[in-house]
Structure 1
Amino acid sequence: MFRHTMTISKRDRFPGRTTVNSAMLQLPTPSAQRCLRFAFFVLLFVTCEVAASRSTLFAASNDRPNLLIVLADDMGYGDLGYTGSQQLQTPHLDSLAKSGVFCSEAYVTSSVCSPSRAGLLTGRDPRRFGYESNLNQSAAAYGTRPELLGLSPSEHTLGDQLRSAGYATALVGKWHLGSHEAHHPNARGFDHFCGMLVGSHNYFPTPDKHQLERNGEPLREFSSPYLTDFFTDEALRWIQGQDEAASQPWMVMLSYNAPHTPMQATDQDLAKFAHISDPKRRTYAAMMYALDRGVGRVRAYLDETDQLEETLIVFFSDNGGATNNGSWNGPLSGVKGSLREGGVRVPMIWSWPGQLPAGKRTDAVVSSLDVLPTFMAAAGAELLPLKPSPSHEDKRNRRRAEAKYGAYDGINLLPQLRGESAPATRTLFWRLQGQTAVRDGEDKLITLSHRPAQLFQVTSDLAEADDRFDADRSRAEQLYKMLGEWEASLATVPLWGSSPMWDAESAKHYDDWGVKSEPR
């Protein structure tokens, strides 16, 4: 079409430094000029289309919701106004439930704090990677190598998954998944961490007496004197910083330690519950009131900044109410530390205005294992492939388990919550300190260290009062087989244990903690 000749000097034989000898250049003919103009307009059109496409993709990436987990600690199933409490005041959590979907049959992966959180953060049954017992003072004595005494680095966390999807990530509050440097939240996918690595903490920290840090540095001052309010302050401060940067969507895990012991509340909050005669229950009510206030503050900020409809929120407790904090498990029997419903069944709320229906209740079986795949689906991202099996795992068993149960144990709940698909039939397993359990469909089998096994139909028998083991032996044997196959599929033994004293304590939960039928 046209011809030109260039000469290149020796000093310019490098990219970007080509020179043209204009005397050697021959201009194109008129017909070639017309073709050149046509090619230019085609190129311009394509460039605009590509720019528009990139703009659309960028807009779509900004449409991904912010993600918020609000986790209570040792909260009783009946301790919301929405679930039957007549003494506690939880208006903001009740409002959250009315704004979204309340899951009445939600389960956590353990009835004690640390393994429950391990399941939540990985989307995998924690027994699959050796996380069975709680992390407490006896764990180190009954443990393994220090670097294995916590959430194994061989597992992806929720922070890892969402950071890989382009999210800014933060965890505020209780960690309780190991204090070795390999387990630190900042090393486990969280850009920001403020809170404590341990399982419990005084609610009135002072500059010279606390175990709190921010990204590895001990705290020197507190925006609020009461820990629950301070954690709310910190979460809001970080969210506001992300809003100012406006560079990427965010995920926050607001991991309150309330209403876990020690039982401590402000005088102002206690005064609201002077009518409760039981001092422990009164303090518990005040602690829940502070937690509820924090949820209200966060939602108010999101509403004021037009982000409420752009944020997917999930709320639940890490396990059921404990024996020592004045909690109430409503219609459920059992408590923290047992595998009865009161230990592993929790109220769960999902809220995403405009995306999920409001005021809906579902009795479908759901799990804390589902948070990770649901969040990743909302983010439009795929779950990361599992990391290679670590040296302490039986690789044959791991392959077999992945073939039978899959790499992850949770499911994406969004279609179910929206009413676009029927509830899935779930099979969930538990094992803790001489106890094992499986729930499959409507039935639940519990094996104990000090009693014969028990079989309950928990959809209709919330209190687990009607043991059907002898009446339906064939179903019991079927569940026994499922439980045995699951245990035999695990890739490793528990990486640490607890004192045998806890086995005896767990046994007491079945003997001493039935249903407290009257709301408290």
Structure 2
Amino acid sequence: MKLHSTILHAFRGLILAAALPSMVSAAEKPNILVIVADDLGYADIGVHGGKVVPTPNIDALAASGVRCTNGYVTAPYCSPSRAGFLTGKSQTRFGHEFNPHVGDEAKLGLPLDQRTIANVLHDEGYATALIGKWHQGFDAAHHPQSRGFDEFFGFLVGGHNFLLHKDADPEFGSAHSHNMIYRGRELQHLDGYTTDLFTDEALGFMKRHAPKPWFLYLAYNAVHTPLEIADRVKDRIPADVTDPNRRGYLSLLVALDDDIGRITAELKAKHPNTLVFFFSDNGGSGRKPFLAYNTGVNTPLRGDKGQTLEGGIRVPFFVSWAGKLPAGKTYDQPVSTMDILPTACAVTGAKQPDGVEGVNLLSYLKGEVTTAPHDTLAWRFGPQKAIRQGNWKLVDVRDMEAKTESGWQLYDLSTDIGEEHNLATSKPELVAKLSKTWEEWNAKNIAPQWHGSPHEDPTAPQKPAAKAGKAKKK
């Protein structure tokens, strides 16, 4: 009996010792801020070579930490990409493959059995907030405050006007809404410019919750359409830019950069222990005509929003944490927005939900581990497919104009970042190997739980878009 007790005590000691490295004291727990831009062109920011308008604050954020040159989202479209980030896994595992536009609202949106990063951090004692764009469902059960967020200030659907007028009639459509900003579950009547209002709200949230750790998902609608120009930035668009769409896009980018500067100044002054992630939810929408065409430039990447080419899924991606991560560094191995949730769990001591496919990036970004975080990354978006293994990328992409798929194409991204030289014919064995790996990955996915609009999803039936109407209380 005594021997049994001794063994049991030793076993418990081993368990406790194994658990200790993951324990994080309340004083050590960092704030976590995730800033998401909407449809940001890869090449439009200064740190990626953009020169049409300056983006000093976005560039400074990149320089304050690690810029991931091979940063990927899990889908080339808004809602599924965000679902992948929020859950730490590929959204095709749970059928969230397309934007939730049409169908039964009780079934549209991030499935209710999926735990979000907000659920995880809320349970760890964090104050949690979503400010800006949700796009993960519209009914009460799918509302942000039903998915782990204590506070919500923003809009529920895929797009929203920037210039708000409190006396205007609110309108709700299947994809965009107008003057329908909510605080919690209550519709607000506001004047102002959404980028500024979201920033004001973010600064207020940080101040209110300064005594305890907080998690903020700051999801700007810039630089998504509509391309509305605020008076405060209209004189800062170069006169030689004459395309009105491009002028509108650049105005949204200038204002976004200004407000990111306000956020980072506040962090530096009052919240230095903050782990910051910045990324775009997908590539820029530079293809015309297109539903969300915004003139975004993805050079040197090929492709756009809505495609599994690099221009649709490789995005600006920065990670910054003062004193904990190196500043001014680039990291060249592929990383994914799926990695944000497990990284947050690692630094807070929170328990990961089941099925998480991302990895804790900290040891990689610090240079403590030199192997790649991911052996393979894979994508499915309707008939479009892609897989990356090392520097090899196999992709089957949709030609939006011809409405046909390309068939498997093979590219060596180490020498051909623009996916210009298809090597599939000369390397059939590699095509066979990678396509088999993709099929094995895809076997763990499920069928889409709904279809997006025909404009986004070529497999979708031709359903009419929902009619815009008066505000619906959610």
- The two structures have a TM-score, normalised by structure 1, of 0.77
Once the two structures are superposed, residues 74-118 of structure 1 have per-residue CA deviations (whole angstroms, 9 ceiling, x without a partner) of 001111101000112211111111111000100001001000000
2:362 corresponds to: 414
- Find the counterpart in structure 1 of residue 134 from structure 2: 175
Q: If you compute each CA radius of gyration, which structure gives the higher value, 1 or 2?
A: 1
**2:145 corresponds to:** 186
In 2: Cα distance, 1:147 partner to 1:181 partner: 9
Tell me what 2:12 maps to: none
SS in 2 for 1:77: coil
Residue 446 (structure 1) aligned with residue 410 (structure 2)? no
Q: How many Å apart are 1:160 and its aligned residue?
A: 0.2
Equivalence map 1:76-475=2 (5 Å) = 76-136=41-101, 139-140=102-103, 145-208=104-167, 209=170, 210-222=179-191, 225-243=192-210, 246=211, 248-275=212-239, 276-305=241-270, 307-308=271-272, 310-322=273-285, 323=287, 324-384=293-353, 386=354, 407-422=355-370, 423-448=372-397, 449-475=404-430
Q: Which residue of 2 aligns with 1:478?
A: 433
The one-letter amino acid of 2:91's match is P
Q: Distance in 1 between matches of 2:374 and 2:359?
A: 11
Query: Relative to structure 1, is the Cα distance of residues 284 and 146 closer, same or farther in structure 2, using a 3 angstrom cutoff?
Result: closer
Farther-moved stretch of structure 1 (442-451 vs 189-198): 442-451
CA distance in 1 between counterparts of 2:56 and 2:198 reads 19
Q: Secondary structure at the match of 1:280?
A: helix
Matches of 1:335 and 1:341 in 2, distance apart? 8
Q: Distance in 2 between matches of 1:484 and 1:96?
A: 38
Find the aligned partners of 1:77 and 1:274 in 2 and give their Cα distance: 20
Matched residue SS, 2:334? strand
SS in 1 for 2:434: helix
CA contact (8 A) 1:89 1:285 kept: no
Superposition pairs of residues 14-25 of structure 1, within 5 angstroms: none
Tell me, yes or no, if the aligned pair for 1:150 and 1:177 is still in contact at 8 Å: yes
- Label 1:450 to 1:301 Cα distance change in 2 as closer, same or farther (>3 A): closer
Supply the RMSD in Å over aligned alpha carbons.
Answer: 1.9
Contact 2:84 2:90 in 1 (8 A): yes
Distance in 1, Cα, partners of 2:455 & 2:316: 30
Take 2:254 and 2:301, find their aligned partners in 1: how far apart are those partners? 22
Change in 2 beyond 3 A, CA 1:193/1:368: same
Helix, strand or coil: the match of 1:261?
coil
**Deviation per CA, 1:255-311, whole angstroms, max 9, x where unpaired?**
001000000121231211133232222221111111111111111112222x22x01
Question: Alpha-carbon deviation of 1:433?
Answer: 2.6
1:272 and 1:374 map into 2 onto residues whose CA distance is 38
Change (3 A) 1:122 1:344: same
Give CA-to-partner distance per residue, 1:38-83, whole Å, 9 cap, x none. xxxxxxxxxxxxxxxxxxxx99312211100110000011111010
Range with bigger deviation, 277-286 or 167-176: 277-286
What residue identity is the alignment partner of 2:108?
Answer: L
* Per-residue CA distance 1:461-480 (angstroms, 9 max, x = gap): 11100101011100100111
Change (3 A) 1:417 1:59: closer
The 2-side partners of 1:101 and 1:378 are apart by 17
Aligned-residue offset at 1:339: 0.5
Runs of at least 5 residues in structure 2 that lack an aligned partner in the other structure: 1-22, 171-178, 288-292, 398-403, 461-474
The 3-state SS of whatever aligns with 2:233 is: helix
Task: Pick from 477, 493, 497 the counterpart of residue 451 of structure 2.
Answer: 497
- TM-score, normalised to structure 2, is 0.84
Change (3 A) 1:199 1:499: closer
Cα distance per residue 1:416-461 (max 9 Å; x no partner): 1111111334311111131111111111111245333211112321
What amino acid sits opposite 2:224 in the alignment?
A: H
Return the letter of the residue paired with 1:184: H
Q: Distance in 1 between matches of 2:451 and 2:329?
A: 41
Instruction: Tell whether the 8 Å contact from 2:385 to 2:396 is kept in structure 1 after alignment.
Output: yes
1:226-268 CA distances to partner (integer Å, 9 max, x unpaired)?
111000011111111112xx1x200101000100000012123
1:365 positional shift:
0.3
Considering fraction of residues, name the structure with more helix: 1
The secondary structure found in structure 2 opposite 1:148 is coil
Equivalent AA in structure 1 for residue 376 of structure 2: T
Show CA shifts across 1:163-184 (max 9, x none).
1111110000000000011110
1:147 offset after TM fit, Å?
A: 2.2
- The percent identity for this pair of structures is 42
Q: Distance in 1 between matches of 2:205 and 2:329?
A: 31
SS at match of 2:316: strand
CA contact (8 A) 1:84 1:330 kept: no
| Matching residue's letter, 2:428 | R
- Determine the C-alpha separation between the residues in 2 that align with 1:118 and 1:190: 15
Q: 2 CA distance for matches of 1:355 and 1:97?
A: 15
Q: How many residues align?
A: 415
**Residues 433 and 502 in structure 1, CA contact (< 8 A), matched pair in contact too:** no
Residues 177 and 413 (structure 1), Cα distance of their counterparts in 2 relative to 1, 3 Å cut:
same
In the alignment, which residue of structure 2 is the partner of 1:46? none
Distance 1:59 1:441 in 2: 34
Local SS of the residue matching 2:218? strand
Gaps of 5+ in 1: 1-57, 387-406, 507-520
**Compared CA separation, residues 505 and 86, structure 1 to 2 (3 A):** farther
Q: Which deviates the most, 201-210 or 162-171?
A: 201-210
